[in-house]
Amino acid sequence: MYRKTITELAAGLRAGEFSSEELTRAFLDRIKTHDQQLNSVVTVTEERALEAARAADRRLKNGDGATLTGIPFLHKDIFCTEGVRTSCGSRMLDNFEAPYDATVSAKLKQTGAVMLGKTNMDEFAMGSSNETSFYGPVRNPWDLDRVPGGSSGGSAAAVAARLAPVATGTDTGGSIRQPAALCGITGIKPTYGRVSRFGMIAFASSLDQGGAFAASAADAAVLLEAMSGFDERDSTSIDRPVDRYTERLGEGLSGLTIGLPKEYFGEGLTAEVSAAIEAAIGEFRKLGAKVREISLPNSHLAVPAYYVVAPAECSSNLSRMDGVRFGYRCDNPGDLEDLYVRSRGEGFGAEVKRRIMVGTYALSAGYYDAYYLKAQQVRRLIRDDFVTALKEVDMIMGPTSPSTAFRLGEKADDPVTMYLSDIYTIAVNLAGLPGMSVPAGFVDGLPVGLQIIGNYFEEGRMLNTAHQYQLATDWHTRLPAGFA
């Protein structure tokens, strides 16, 4: 059953070929069997999952259910889930049980989807390799000595190994798209404001956005449609109707104009990945799309701008983690200052501390104008480049990552090199645009991802574009050895 699509699983549930409880047990068994190798799931909610599956079976028997009713999924451990540990991959929140559901959690619960558990992640979503988690690194199912990408590496690795049909993720600078590329699955980050951030523990508030992982664009469309929508509890949520993404999956690509940024095919991109992306673009030409070169002249400024804006916002957001109200608290503090210093010093990992320090410096008196304000000005230039380009083309495509998955520990001692892993994805978050990654081939047995960037609120068009490509190719159907 783990090879079936959501559509096939939903049809099987409605036809009575199997129950949601049977389906849920099958995926729970796969987690028990395979996740010792991957470390992709930090909390398994078996009893709750089986209870939810039985409730879904009752709904289905009464003819009352949505496409996701009875379908198992995994939840990134950054979304609050009432009564379940929500750790953000950090010692700071290792003992935190959320007293409420995030909006995304509530929406999925309402559909009758069955949460199997919570996935591992880089601590507070800060990382590009899923090596900064308090619970240890996640491993890539295509090669257990390599990273799955981050920060949503647990969700990506789990879906690639088919430990769940779909999973949620969040993307601040590429944290859905990059792990989707390195693990050979489909991942989509929608337009900023499309998915509610209420109950999604904040890293960088102006950049964070929830999204979906699946084997295919068609399955991602089902999950994203259920997650999306206006939420009055989120001041950044957009009050705009949600498209029926699944209903747009039959549109042809004739007349579609694709832009290839010349800046994405230069120094830093490996020749093998470049060749795979060129081959993927060739498939779109066969499908009737037109291709032209474009320029995003300020794209080289995306990484430095991001690593001022994101740490500044994270230093503000994480100030609430102080050992007083919730989360980790040091033993036997001598006084209030000792409580703060030791709780934060012991509760946060090295990468989180690094970003807090950078962000605090950038926001400090005398440096705010020179760093944070300047970064925001550069951010507007980057956004304007995309707006100009998307007046000339319908879609922008290029590599998701400059290389395939690197080895565990390979970049751990070189933060700048690690940050450059997201060089093609960061600008999309700075601009607030939707972006996704789809499997586009292999290099030495490791997956390559093609990035698709659309205009604001054109997730439906992007998903259909990816779907048409996947109808013509089979990269998304391949499973890593040992998990097939």
Is 42 a member of any domain? Answer: yes
User: Which residue in the list 40, 87, 175, 421 is annotated as catalytic?
Assistant: 175
Q: Position of tokens 């089986």? A: 50
The arrangement of strands across the sheet holding 257-261 comes to 41-44, 114-119, 72-76, 166-171, 209-214, 186-189, 435-443, 446-453, 395-399, 257-261, 290-294
Q: How far is CA 89 from the centre of its chain?
A: 15
DSSP 8-state code for residue 476:
G
Is 135 a member of any domain? Answer: yes
Is 437 a member of any domain? Answer: no
Question: What is the reported pLDDT for 51?
Answer: 98
Question: What is the reported pLDDT for 280?
Answer: 98
Q: Is 76 an active-site residue? A: yes
What is the domain-level CATH number for residue 208? 3.90.1300.10
User: Which residue in the list 20, 76, 228, 411 is annotated as catalytic?
Assistant: 76
Is 71 a member of any domain? Answer: yes
Q: Is 315 an active-site residue? A: no
Work out the angle at residue 212's Cα, subtended by the Cα atoms of residues 418 and 253, and round it to the nearest 5 degrees: 100
Is 246 a member of any domain? Answer: yes
Q: CA 29, CA 430: separation in Å to the nearest integer?
A: 40
Question: What is the reported pLDDT for 414?
Answer: 87
Q: Is 151 an active-site residue? A: yes
Question: What is the reported pLDDT for 310?
Answer: 96
pLDDT tens string for the chain (484 positions)? 899 999 999 999 999 999 999 999 999 999 999 999 999 999 999 999 999 999 999 999 998 889 999 999 999 999 999 999 999 999 999 999 999 999 999 999 999 999 999 999 999 999 999 999 999 999 999 999 999 999 999 999 999 999 999 999 999 999 999 999 999 999 999 999 999 999 999 999 999 999 999 999 999 999 999 999 999 999 999 999 999 999 999 999 999 999 999 999 988 999 999 999 999 999 999 999 999 999 999 999 999 999 999 999 999 999 999 999 889 999 999 999 999 999 999 999 999 999 999 999 999 988 998 999 999 999 999 999 999 999 999 999 999 999 999 999 999 888 888 888 899 999 999 999 999 999 999 999 999 999 999 999 999 999 999 999 999 999 999 999 999 8
What is the residue range of 190's domain?
6-256
User: Which residue in the list 20, 87, 151, 315 is annotated as catalytic?
Assistant: 151
Question: What is the reported pLDDT for 365?
Answer: 86
Q: Taking the model in full, what pTM does it have?
A: 0.96
Q: CA 93, CA 441: separation in Å to the nearest integer?
A: 38
Is 264 a member of any domain? Answer: no
Is 224 a member of any domain? Answer: yes
Question: Is residue 119 within 8 Å of residue 170, measured between CB atoms?
Answer: no
Q: Residue 376 CB: number of other CB atoms within 10 A?
A: 15
41 φ, ψ (degrees, to nearest 5): -120, 125
Q: How many domains does the chain have?
A: 1
Is 459 a member of any domain? Answer: no
Question: What is the reported pLDDT for 116?
Answer: 98
Question: What is the reported pLDDT for 412?
Answer: 85
